[in-house]
Chain A
Amino acid sequence: MDRKTPELRPAINEYFKDPSPSSNLFDNISSHATAESKREEPAVCRIFQQIETKKTDIFDIIKPPENNHNNSPAFDVQESTFLNTGNDNVDLMDIFNHEYELSSIPAEDERRRFAWIPSVKTKNTLEKASQMNHTLPKDMLTMPGVENVNFTTKLYENLVSYLGEAEAAPFKSKNIEKVTQDEQGLKLLIEDNNFSEALNLTTRLLGMYGQGPGQMGYPSKHTKSSLQLWFTRFALLVKICAWKIISKEALAWDDLDRPDLYMQWYKDLYGNKYGTLVPFSFRLILAELPQYVISSTNVYNKLFEILVGVKKIISNLDNGLTEDGRNVELTIQDRNTSKLLWYSREAKVIHSIINCAVNQKDFKLAIKLLKDLIETPRLKYTTEHSRSLLSAMGRICLQVGDLKAHGYFLKSSRLKPQLQGTIVENKADYRELIDAALLAIAQNNYKEAYKHFENAYLMDSNKVMALNNMATCLFYEGQLNNAITLLEDAIQRFPDLALNESLLSNICCFYQFQNSASNKQRLLKYHIISKYKNSVTDVIN
């Protein structure tokens, strides 16, 4: 029963249910919430304003050198060495003594990214594939099909009826018909945060592969492109929390290990290439699903299966083989780049398991895994990444009430880069302030926490979070009105960032308690919804 805790929060549209008749708009919007149960959480708000962000990409570390102008990637890969952890088992410094650049040779890059070790059964089938005639029994085929669902958001129509066409116009977003019916168009829709239309486009595009509505269970052909479409679709479904749909569609994919998902199976198409068609991110997203589905029996199984797979690949690379264990010569540079990629993937899978454990309130598991990541890093972390891990550890401890969090926050402080010869040295930085504030809250000292958040707010970092947390502290100090003012202020000043589900949940809670009939609030609600349209997706069969 406790497994459902991540889903305790009602959908955002629930908050807007208003008993007064003048709020038709909000009732309309919440119509689908009942249909698709409370699990439909909104994803990220629409970004109206381009915000300056550092062009860093922490998520995949291997990319052509020309793109590689990272200021502060979490996993620092520009350096050719791995962190020498001080253990005397292997001296990693020695192995990686060679200067190398990140490889941009496409063939190598493809081999690395799509490497995967098939199960024994699949491997046997693949090996026989060249001799036997090229068919598989039906139960060994992967036969996906999209659910027959049209994703729409009625919000725009509601806005028009409420505001008139002219005023609603800015909120009109790109329509599926306004973009090219291909991957490029799909990308545009996603960038525009129009997830519903993007999903509809995936439905169309997958239809061309014979994997459209109602085609689940019928043989169809897989290519790298079709798998990318499926990954995109699943990522979007996760973002809009369409758990029912996603769990149905996930059935066909099983373990992503059927022979028809490997390049070896398509000799005519891929020649002598080895590897899977499945993007690694797709594998991960499928493995993360069980934690969101009530009927899951073991939410960790698939995640750990992936971790085992990744570890096997790493050990193959360590033993002079290719990722999937073939005895083929790789250049040192190629091998090292591959190791970096797979170490970073390993870290990512562990992150996923930790996230899952925190969702399940398995804090022991989360703490254990995180401790491993901190104490025996496989990659050379940047200072900031190391500090983030320690902060994360402290926060997870606090979630289970363990005040040992303090120790982790201290360790993070000690890693702070010291500026030489300045007085600023001893001044707490943003991270320290946030950590100190969280600890103060754990000790019921909201006044002190407020001060820390306020100081953090003055720094040029996540101001919205600081404001929100300041408001929360005010509320617990009995200052409801000030808390509301602060949040409204945050929305006015940073609409693009502040309009997210969590902040709205807070402000709605405060409004509800205050129960003021002022128009201002209605207007604000409307304002919120209009900007937040993508959080609300109506599902029509």
Chain B
Amino acid sequence: MASIEVKEVIEHPIKLRVMRLGKPVMFNSKVVTCDSKDLPGTVFNTQLKKDVTALADAETLAAGSFLMVPNVLENLYLGETFLCYIYLKNESSQTVYDIILKAEIDTATSHIPILGPKAFPKLDPYASIDVIVKHEVKEHGSVNKLICQVEYDRKHSFETIFSYRVPKPLDLKTKFYNTVTDEVYLEVQVQNIMSTPISLEKFILESSVGYNVISMNHLLESSDNKSIFGDMDILDVKETRQYMYRLSLDQTAEKNPTRTNNLGKLDILWRSNMGTKGQIQSSPLVRQIPELDDITFSITYLPDMVFCEEQFDFTCSIKNNRNRDMQLVVEVSDEEDSNLAWTMISGIQLRLLPPYATIKTVFSMVALNHGLQVISGIKLKELILNRTYSYNNFGHVFVTQNVS
């Protein structure tokens, strides 16, 4: 992509040039050295030492600080800032009066004024008007234009159009996993589809009201929240990272939070060459809400390990997902071949469960055999509509021998 686009209309005494600016780059010197006992002696080394682009005191490292205005510009990506030098020069020997300069950005859907109209009373021969304009790129596409209009002497005018493309910087893919307890696991794949490596300075999920976010992108065993991606935030060209989040409904919110399908949005900030900054926010992440059963039945407490032939308890939560009262009776029955046996009364009637309410119930069992055992055999009978809900194979306990 050419960095300079010059359009001239010959008849005008003043000429307009437009140049898109990319950040300056640091020139990396070429290193040629040898032993002083080699044929060229010290001459190469002396030349390198004198090189103004070299890094003093470590000349063999090509990491000088000599800045160059880039000849070849990187693409301008969505979320970055469009920076442009507008240079208006009087190339005649006559003073030009009453100049009005105006610039705007024209995209597929909008028309954004970014400069002026700015008035200048006069422009002396060979003098210039220099303006740097900035614009944050919020729309991607191939039809972006910078339109600069110049009026002078109250009767003449011309315009220059500078076109540029705005490709997408990152490829984002999301996947949702809903759990029975109404939690959502969100997996985000982000791929750098720019032509340069970048530093991902910020990558966060801003959740919607009513959701709590737990980021699962840090090492568990580290004290200082070490990222699973290591110390470096660099995302190479075409490299993909995978982030994971757990979202749960905020329990402190009102009794029946409206289950919004908008989980939130991603806020991403990156930098590339010499700190070129880009920032984008994803569109709202929307999940398909799974159709809920009448009742959500889930374990809230269960010991991992129990002793053989000793009784153990576990707690389950029963939630009414319907807008009506429920009158539940808990029945338990021993399955055939099961190594666990119920040690509680079957047929206990629970208190009336109002709409959307939750009730917790304790269950008791005894293990009859060693090993990993499956819990099955709970039935909830709803008396008002006379329905039965069965829960089998919903939990495991590991049974061992009590040696003490």
| Chain A residues close to B by CB (< 8 Å) | 2, 6, 8-10, 41, 43-44, 47, 51, 53, 56-60, 63, 67, 72, 74, 113, 183, 186-187, 190-191, 228-229, 231-232, 235, 238-239, 279-281, 285, 348, 351-352, 354-355, 358-359, 361-364, 367, 370, 382, 384-385, 387-389, 391-392, 395-396, 398-404, 434, 438, 441-444, 461-462, 464-465, 468-469, 472, 475-481, 497-498, 500, 502-503, 505-506, 509-510, 512-516
Question: Considering only CB atoms, which chain A residue lies closest to B233 in the complex?
Answer: A402
Please tell me which stretch of B15-23, B208-216, B323-331, B382-390 contacts chain A, meaning at least 4 of its Cβ atoms lie within 8 angstroms of it: B15-23
Question: Considering only CB atoms, which chain A residue lies closest to B276 in the complex?
Answer: A401
Contact at A231–B39, with CB atoms within 8 Å?
A: yes
- Taking A472-B68, A480-B128 as known contacts, 15 extra A-B pairs with beta carbons closer than 8 A to each other, sorted by chain A number, are A59-B34, A67-B36, A231-B39, A235-B40, A280-B35, A285-B32, A351-B58, A355-B62, A361-B237, A398-B26, A401-B198, A402-B271, A438-B65, A441-B275, A444-B277
Contact at A506–B50, with CB atoms within 8 Å?
A: no
Task: Determine which of B15, B65, B274 lies in contact with A469 in the assembled complex, contact meaning CB atoms within 8 Å.
Answer: B65
Please tell me which stretch of B41-49, B157-165, B168-176, B360-368 contacts chain A, meaning at least 4 of its Cβ atoms lie within 8 angstroms of it: B41-49
Contact at A392–B61, with CB atoms within 8 Å?
A: yes
**Set of chain A residues within 8 Å of B40, measured between Cβ atoms:** 187, 190, 232, 235
**Set of chain A residues within 8 Å of B51, measured between Cβ atoms:** 44, 500
**Set of chain A residues within 8 Å of B23, measured between Cβ atoms:** 441
Interface 1/0s, chain B 179-208, versus A by CB < 8 A?
A: 000000000000000011111010000000
**Set of chain A residues within 8 Å of B65, measured between Cβ atoms:** 391, 395, 434, 438, 465, 469
Q: Considering the chains assembled together, what is the distance between the CA atoms of A452 and B87 in angstroms? A: 27
Contact at B85–A388, with CB atoms within 8 Å?
A: no
Q: Considering the chains assembled together, what is the distance between the CA atoms of A392 and B56 in angstroms? A: 10
Shortest C-beta distance, B36 to chain A (Å), equals 6
Most buried by B among A72, A228, A462, A480: A462
Contact at A74–B39, with CB atoms within 8 Å?
A: no
**Set of chain A residues within 8 Å of B36, measured between Cβ atoms:** 57, 59-60, 63, 67
Chain B stretch 33-79: residues in CB contact (< 8 A) with chain A? 33-53, 55-69, 71-72
Q: Considering the chains assembled together, what is the distance between the CA atoms of A469 and B50 in angstroms? A: 17
Interface 1/0s, chain B 269-280, versus A by CB < 8 A?
A: 011111111000
Q: Considering the chains assembled together, what is the distance between the CA atoms of A468 and B67 in angstroms? A: 7
Interface residues on B, range: 35 or more
Q: Does B236 count as interface, using CB distance less than 8 angstroms?
A: yes
Question: Considering only CB atoms, which chain A residue lies closest to B69 in the complex?
Answer: A509
Q: Does B13 count as interface, using CB distance less than 8 angstroms?
A: no
Contact at A500–B234, with CB atoms within 8 Å?
A: no
Q: How many A-B residue contacts, CB cutoff 8 Å?
A: 266
Q: Does B241 count as interface, using CB distance less than 8 angstroms?
A: no
Task: Determine which of A113, A235, A348, A477 lies in contact with B37 in the assembled complex, contact meaning CB atoms within 8 Å.
Answer: A113
Q: Please judge, given known A-B contacts A51-B50, A502-B27, A513-B17, whether A60 and B58 are in contact too, CB under 8 Å.
A: no
Q: Considering the chains assembled together, what is the distance between the CA atoms of A59 and B6 in angstroms? A: 47
Q: Please judge, given known A-B contacts A58-B60, A59-B36, whether A399 and B26 are in contact too, CB under 8 Å.
A: yes
Question: Considering only CB atoms, which chain A residue lies closest to B132 in the complex?
Answer: A478
Contact at A58–B61, with CB atoms within 8 Å?
A: no
Q: Name the 3 nearest CB pairs between A and B, nearest first.
A: A442-B275, A401-B271, A388-B58
> 26 A–B contact pairs at CB < 8 A?
A43-B30, A44-B47, A44-B50, A58-B49, A59-B59, A190-B40, A228-B38, A231-B34, A231-B38, A235-B34, A348-B33, A351-B31, A354-B61, A361-B196, A367-B232, A388-B61, A389-B58, A399-B273, A400-B273, A441-B23, A465-B66, A472-B68, A481-B128, A498-B52, A505-B69, A505-B71
Q: Does B373 count as interface, using CB distance less than 8 angstroms?
A: no
Shortest C-beta distance, A168 to chain B (Å), equals 25
**Set of chain A residues within 8 Å of B377, measured between Cβ atoms:** none
Shortest C-beta distance, B266 to chain A (Å), equals 19
Task: Determine which of B25, B32, B56, B58 lies in contact with A461 in the assembled complex, contact meaning CB atoms within 8 Å.
Answer: B56
Q: Considering the chains assembled together, what is the distance between the CA atoms of A341 and B63 in angstroms? A: 24
| Chain B residues close to A by CB (< 8 Å) | 4, 6, 15, 17, 19, 21, 23-28, 30-53, 55-69, 71-72, 85, 87, 89, 126, 128, 130-132, 195-199, 201, 232-234, 236-237, 270-277
Q: Considering the chains assembled together, what is the distance between the CA atoms of A228 and B197 in angstroms? A: 40
Task: Determine which of B41, B126, B272 lies in contact with A401 in the assembled complex, contact meaning CB atoms within 8 Å.
Answer: B272
Task: Determine which of B67, B234, B270 lies in contact with A472 in the assembled complex, contact meaning CB atoms within 8 Å.
Answer: B67
Task: Determine which of A57, A281, A402, A497 lies in contact with B50 in the assembled complex, contact meaning CB atoms within 8 Å.
Answer: A497
Q: Please judge, given known A-B contacts A59-B45, A481-B128, whether A364 and B58 are in contact too, CB under 8 Å.
A: no
Contact at A469–B66, with CB atoms within 8 Å?
A: yes
Q: Please judge, given known A-B contacts A235-B32, A476-B24, whether A60 and B67 are in contact too, CB under 8 Å.
A: no
Q: Considering the chains assembled together, what is the distance between the CA atoms of A354 and B46 in angstroms? A: 22
Q: Considering the chains assembled together, what is the distance between the CA atoms of A391 and B55 in angstroms? A: 9
Q: Considering the chains assembled together, what is the distance between the CA atoms of A468 and B53 in angstroms? A: 10
Contact at B24–A472, with CB atoms within 8 Å?
A: yes
Shortest C-beta distance, A239 to chain B (Å), equals 6
**Set of chain B residues within 8 Å of A59, measured between Cβ atoms:** 33-36, 45, 48, 59-60
Task: Determine which of A53, A388, A442 lies in contact with B57 in the assembled complex, contact meaning CB atoms within 8 Å.
Answer: A388
Q: Considering the chains assembled together, what is the distance between the CA atoms of A241 and B4 in angstroms? A: 27
Shortest C-beta distance, A404 to chain B (Å), equals 8
Q: Please judge, given known A-B contacts A231-B39, A400-B197, whether A391 and B272 are in contact too, CB under 8 Å.
A: no
Q: Please judge, given known A-B contacts A57-B45, A355-B28, whether A505 and B276 are in contact too, CB under 8 Å.
A: no
Shortest C-beta distance, B235 to chain A (Å), equals 9
Q: Considering the chains assembled together, what is the distance between the CA atoms of A74 and B57 in angstroms? A: 6
Task: Determine which of B61, B89, B275 lies in contact with A403 in the assembled complex, contact meaning CB atoms within 8 Å.
Answer: B275
Question: Considering only CB atoms, which chain B residue lies closest to A370 in the complex?
Answer: B61
Contact at B234–A402, with CB atoms within 8 Å?
A: yes
Contact at B39–A229, with CB atoms within 8 Å?
A: yes
**Set of chain B residues within 8 Å of A238, measured between Cβ atoms:** 30, 32
Q: Considering the chains assembled together, what is the distance between the CA atoms of A539 and B353 in angstroms? A: 93
Q: Considering the chains assembled together, what is the distance between the CA atoms of A410 and B62 in angstroms? A: 21
Shortest C-beta distance, A103 to chain B (Å), equals 13
Question: Considering only CB atoms, which chain B residue lies closest to A398 in the complex?
Answer: B274
Q: Please judge, given known A-B contacts A235-B40, A512-B4, whether A400 and B58 are in contact too, CB under 8 Å.
A: no
Most buried by B among A72, A279, A476, A477: A476
**Set of chain B residues within 8 Å of A51, measured between Cβ atoms:** 50
Contact at B17–A515, with CB atoms within 8 Å?
A: yes
**Set of chain A residues within 8 Å of B87, measured between Cβ atoms:** 480, 513-514
Contact at B35–A281, with CB atoms within 8 Å?
A: yes
**Set of chain A residues within 8 Å of B50, measured between Cβ atoms:** 44, 47, 51, 53, 497
